Structure 1
Amino acid sequence: MTSEPFPRVAVDPGDSDDELRRKASTVRPTPRQVAWQRQELVAFVHFGINTFTGLECGSGTDDLSLFDPVELDCGQWARSLADAGFRSVILTAKHHDGFCLWPSRYTAHSVAATPWRAGRGDVVRELAEAARAVGLGLGVYLSPADLHQTHAADGCYGNGSPAVETVIPTLVPGDDRAARVESGELPSFTYVVDDYNRYYLNQLYELLTEHGPVGEVWLDGADPTATKQHYDHDTWFSMVRALAPDATCAVGGPDVRWVGNESGYARYSEWSVVPMRDEPSEFGHTTAVAEEEHDLAGPAAMRRAGHFAWYPAEVDVSIRPGWFHHASQDTAVKSLPRLMDLYRHSVGRNAVLLLNVPPDRRGRFADPDLARLTEFGRVLREAYGVDLAADAHTGEDVPDSVLVELPQPRTFNVVGLSEDIRHGQLVESFAVDVWLSGAWERVATGTTVGHKRLVSLPRPLTSHRLRVRVLASRGAVRPDVSLMLDPTVPAPVVHDSFAAARDSRGISSDDAPGIADLGGTGVSLSAQALAAAGIVPGGPVAHGGLEFRWPDTAPGEPDNVRADGQTITMSGSGSRIGFLLLGTADRSFGPGLATYTDGSRQEIPLLALDTLGEGDYPAGAHTIVSMPYHNRPDGRADRPARVGWCAAPLDPARTLESITLPRYGEGTNPEEPGVHVFAVTLG
């Protein structure tokens, strides 16, 4: 008997792998999740007191007299985003510093206490009106963490208050909503909560009832407060459901998950059907393995499930190195090829791209960002707005295949695949064949499809016939096929060995830091710090059962490879592959790919390592040594550099042909994250 489809499906401890796959195939998205996924592009707008202090995270005691965006133009934001193809925009209504971009009744730490418009302005309202005028949806970011409520004398964050029965909205003296609440025009809710949860619910109520309609409520999981405070998530979500039933609750919410990185890249295998802990519940949203894991929903994770849920990925990344605008980064706006690469690896990997564009101190998008958005929108329309196979005939005579017959030869370098996610996510692997020189030639393979999969080909091909074969699936499925020509797809760079791919030196003496430079970032590793940890250049490093040889540091000899999408020939067999690596800035995350001689591919957690910050490492990723600083020619010493290792299992019955490094960062700015691989080994 076949189970009825549900957004959440329970798992029994004795379920076989086949039964787990069958149950996963019955999971379906809610209508709000389908509508959210179809947006594909959502804009993030980080704006607030940090814009004026130059910080990425304020203290909560910031001088509010600095906030004065005299040329605020939310219409400019909305028009430029809509023209670039974004479907909605999410505003940081309250970041971790607790500063509110609307005049909240529940705190003085808001725009009402600033000189901007004599304290009578409301950024959230102005953006809501501007978004509606151009057809953009509106989302609100309301940080659960609150440094102002942590530090203020009367602050309620983590104050140890008891949970008591509370009516939301909690009316204040002279509240202008009193009559509407009493008449029932405005709904009210009764919850048992402590002081901070009461505060948070009241602010959420203001945003949802006075600035709507709101299509997405975004919760950030970061918490710089170092103060213990319980978040009553289920109560928050229940009120969102009541006030904005079509709104998705994202990042910690029950509808949408964080992809696990801030690099802009989804996984090679990005499932929307995700193994979850415990039994199904209305707001249950804890994944069976950490969200940062490179294998979030594969067979091993499925065996740890208490239930399966439809829990799609949102990929957040900034158009600049920082989330807030800093004039010093005006020359570091991501290039058009980089943005298109992010699009292909987020939207094109079954996720929604959440691209942050931060306004400057005037309250406008800066010229470099505006120019890049214009380019981005133009190329998206030109490359992906026209399906080259729109007038093709689709054959129906080949089981588990889609045969596309074009009326005339077309040139394309991207193949788009799509499942109707209203019926679940079913494709586990596929192959793409193109009719070339009178025969079928396999030109690409892949794993998951979901809402959209964009497969970039090694080179543009011209043909009138194309075939997509579903190699494995959880049920009968025939994905839709489209063809595009994207001028920004980079030509593949292939090296015949790891040594041949080396491109920069990275180790230097403390008394001569300028002799080494990692990828043009001005950063090098301290030979003295390595020696103190027992690492001798040119010597062996044993870790996790694998042995590496640390590169020699002879002057002029390159020592490492900066990950930038290269394919490196590496033949051999083994049960594991390991990497010695270093990240130059911020979180470094992104899967590499191992390709076997039979054409199959496997994701490897090459960069799944938070190299410069504390955090939960994915399985197989660990720190070997934490450097006390970066060597820089200017003597700058800022954040520690973590030299680490990553290891991943391989299929010992297959022969490895090559590894492909992720394209991560552009290497043109020291603040842009990058990763450098020092050694690779099989074991």
Structure 2
Amino acid sequence: MKYFSYSLLFLLFLNCRNEKSSSSSIEESTLAKPSAKQIAFADWEVGAFIHFGLNVFSGQEHGDGKVSPSEFDPSELDAEQWVLAAKALGAKYACLTVRHEGGFCLWPSKTTDYTIANSPYKGGKGDIAQEFVDACRKHDMKIGFYHTSSHDANAGLSWYDGYIGWADNRDSLMNIAFQRPGLKEKYKQVQMGQMRELLTNYGPIDFMWSDHWGAPGSEEIWNPITDLVAELQPNMVFMGPETWVPGNESGLVVYPMWNAVNTVDGTNYTRPSASSKDKNVENDYGLLETEVRTGHPEGKFWRVRECTTHWAFHEGGWFWHPEVTLPRSLSEHVDLYYRTVGLGANTIINLPPDNRGLIPDTIVSAAKKFGNEIKRRFSNPIAELKQIKTGETVELSWSKPQKINTVVLMENIANGQRAVKYSLEAFVNDSWVPLKPMNHFPIAKPPYNPNPGYETIGHKKIDRIETVETNKIRFKSLESVEGVPEIRKMQVFYNAPY
């Protein structure tokens, strides 16, 4: 067993040998640790993203802020149907795009006229944010809002008569916009006002997805927004300072992966900085956050990884588009779970309502099949360790030998993430034999790992192993940070290939 000093931690990534150092007690640990709300968020594991708004009627994906609110008129909108579909998926939280990048508000905001109040929906008296919140509370679903303060085409670009595209095109226009006298401050006040409305008028909100932290001028917006969030809803998990994306929208997370990160300016206001092996990936369907960040065991801040997954669950973009929004196969959906939740991240799966205001039956059916399959696979372990165990070796045994091919491990991340490398063994014919990892993700390309082995654990690691018949297995810590890992849970299963 090896313990590593902080001065040599970077050598882990170069496969160099470190000198032994004495283990540190939990009390002396300087590892980054998650807050209680970050631990709870990680335990939710699966979320549902509800992308709905003016884009559904205009056919746009990102919204140019020019489409008239008069086009927004869902005839059968049912927020309860959305939440029930999310529950069938197995989601513990649901996140609605109350205001996407075009700037159209699904509540009657007093900060702008570009809202539901100027649409035909319910004669201008509707409030879909409230309908969504009510449905979530009725069905015990954690409530999430999507609102991106750094991208609001209507507030920032309403002066521009030309084409408003995406990525570099929009960023260039916003740079020009912020040079106009008074516009940047006015824009900022709109964003602050909308955030105050959302976090004041709807009671406790559990999660806020806030997109595009690297946009032009965003540092002057996100810092005060972050402070406002902490003031108004201190128990809410805020994407940015408390969670982060993996650099793609295809449901892939880097492995090995550390939740601890450093940031570009050394504060908790900004996005994670790169380590020596990190890189950006090619743009994934208009994604702006293409930075793949491994994290670092000595990182200062804890960020739960959350994988956005529209391409992984269905075809056709984030918003519903006729004849295009079709689900993928169940096997692809199960693979998504293993390569996100199974590598220590959350996954938030898109369930886009159509122009009626209902999630299409094909997506609802696929969501239900996914939820049922995950329950079938992981609800009834052959054996389970339920109490925290600390030590270089942790064993789990059961009465009669049975076939197993899946091992689930969870670290007690409340005291930090420690496991760097480990092994799994089974007791067969009176001796311990190594268990060969069989993890394989066909869609993973570098820098994502198609064949994860036994390295980091974090919140959860699901290892598919070569089938063996046994009644005892053991986890052995081979390398760790600041003492031995604390194992919160260990489970074994036998599941058919998917």
Offset at 1:57?
A: 1.9
In 2, the alpha carbon distance for the partners of 1:136 and 1:240 equals 21
Deviation at 1:162, TM superposition (A): 6.8
Per-residue deviation, residues 84-105 of structure 1 (Å, max 9, x unmatched): 3211111111111111111111
Identify the match of residue 375 of structure 1 among 365, 369, 390.
Answer: 369
- 5 Å-filtered alignment, 1:92-103, equals 92-103=97-108
Q: Which entry has the higher C-alpha Rg, 1 or 2?
A: 1
In structure 1, the residue matched to 2:122 is 117
Secondary structure of the structure 2 residue equivalent to 1:197: helix
Work out the CA distance in 2 between the residues paired with 1:393 and 1:371: 33
What is the deviation of 1:60? 1.2
Q: Report the TM-score, using the length of structure 2 for normalisation.
A: 0.79
| CA distances 1:559-599 after superposition (whole Å, capped 9, x unpaired) | xxxxxxxxxxxxxxxxxxxxxxxxxxxxxxxxxxxxxxxxx
**Structure 2 unaligned blocks of 5 or more:** 1-5, 13-17, 162-172, 281-289, 438-452
CA contact (8 A) 1:80 1:374 kept: yes
Contact 1:271 1:350 in 2 (8 A): no
Instruction: Name the structure, 1 or 2, with higher relative contact order (CA <8 Å, separation 6+).
Output: 2
Residues 249 and 256 of structure 1 are in contact (CA less than 8 Å); yes or no, is this contact kept in structure 2? yes
Match of 1:341, SS state, is: helix
Residue 402 of structure 1: SS of its match in structure 2? strand
Percent of matched pairs sharing the same residue = 27
AA in 2 matched with 1:255: E
Q: Against the structure 1 CA distance between its residues 354 and 451, is the aligned structure 2 distance closer, same or farther, given a 3 Å change threshold?
A: same
Q: Tell me how far 1:124 sits from its aligned partner.
A: 0.8
CA distance in 2 between partners of 1:401 and 1:220 (Å): 42
Matched, 1:74 2:79: yes
1:316 aligns with 2:303: no
Report the equivalent of 1:53: 58
Amino acid in structure 1 at the alignment position of 2:273: T
Once residues 221 and 293 of structure 1 are traced to their aligned partners in structure 2, the CA distance between those partners, rounded to angstroms, is: 12
Pairing partner for 2:49 from 44, 47, 51: 44
Give matches, 1:482-561, under 5 Å. Answer: 482-487=491-496, 489-490=497-498
Following superposition, the deviation at residue 467 of structure 1 comes to 1.6
Question: 1:414 — aligned with what?
Answer: 406
CA distance in 2, matches of 1:35, 1:67: 36
**Deviations 1:30-75 (CA, angstroms, capped at 9, x unpaired):** 1121111111111111111111122212221113322111110110
| SS of residue matched to 2:417 | coil
- Alignment match, 2:273: 287
Residue of structure 2 aligned with 1:465, choices 463, 472, 491? 472
1-structure distance, mates of 2:80, 2:35? 32
Which residue number in structure 1 is paired with residue 209 of structure 2? 218
Amino acid at match of 1:483: V
For residues 393 and 438 of structure 1, what CA distance do their matches in structure 2 show?
Answer: 26
Q: Which residues of structure 1 form unaligned runs of 5+?
A: 1-10, 165-192, 491-683
1:61 and 1:151 in contact (8 A); partners too: no
Residue 461 of structure 1 and its aligned partner are, at CA, apart by: 3.2
1:233 deviation in Å?
1.3
Runs of 4+ displaced beyond 6 Å: 11-19, 21-24, 154-157, 161-164, 392-396
TM-score by length of 1: 0.59
DSSP-derived class of the 2:70 partner:
helix
1:366 maps to amino acid: P
| Structure-2 residue corresponding to 1:635 | none
Rounded Cα–Cα distance in structure 2 between residues aligned with 1:222 and 1:69:
31
The CA distance in 2 between the partners of 1:95 and 1:385, in whole Å, is: 36
Q: Secondary structure at the match of 1:466?
A: strand
Over 3 Å counting, the alpha-carbon distance change for 1:122 and 1:223 in structure 2 is farther
Deviation at residue 25 of structure 1 after TM alignment: 5.6
Cα distance change, pair 81–66 in 1 and its aligned pair in 2 (3 A): same
One-letter code of the match for 1:194?
E
* 1:203 corresponds to: 194
1:471 is paired with a residue whose SS is strand
Cα RMSD for the two superposed structures? 3.2
Q: Residues 197-243 of structure 1: CA distance to partner in whole angstroms, max 9, x if unpaired?
A: 1110000011111123111121111889xx76764211101110111
- Shift of the alpha carbon at 1:282? 5.1
Query: Matched residue pairs, number?
Result: 435
Q: Does 1:137 align with 2:137?
A: no
Q: Kindly tell me: are residues 393 and 275 of structure 1, through their superposed partners in 2, closer, same or farther at Cα, counting changes over 3 Å?
A: closer
- Determine the structure 1 residue equivalent to 2:393: 401
Residue 147 of structure 1 corresponds to 153
Equivalent AA in structure 2 for residue 336 of structure 1: L
Tell me, in whole angstroms, the C-alpha distance in 2 between the residues paired with 1:15 and 1:440: 33
Counterpart of 1:55 in structure 2: which amino acid? Q
Structure having the larger proportion of residues in helix = 2
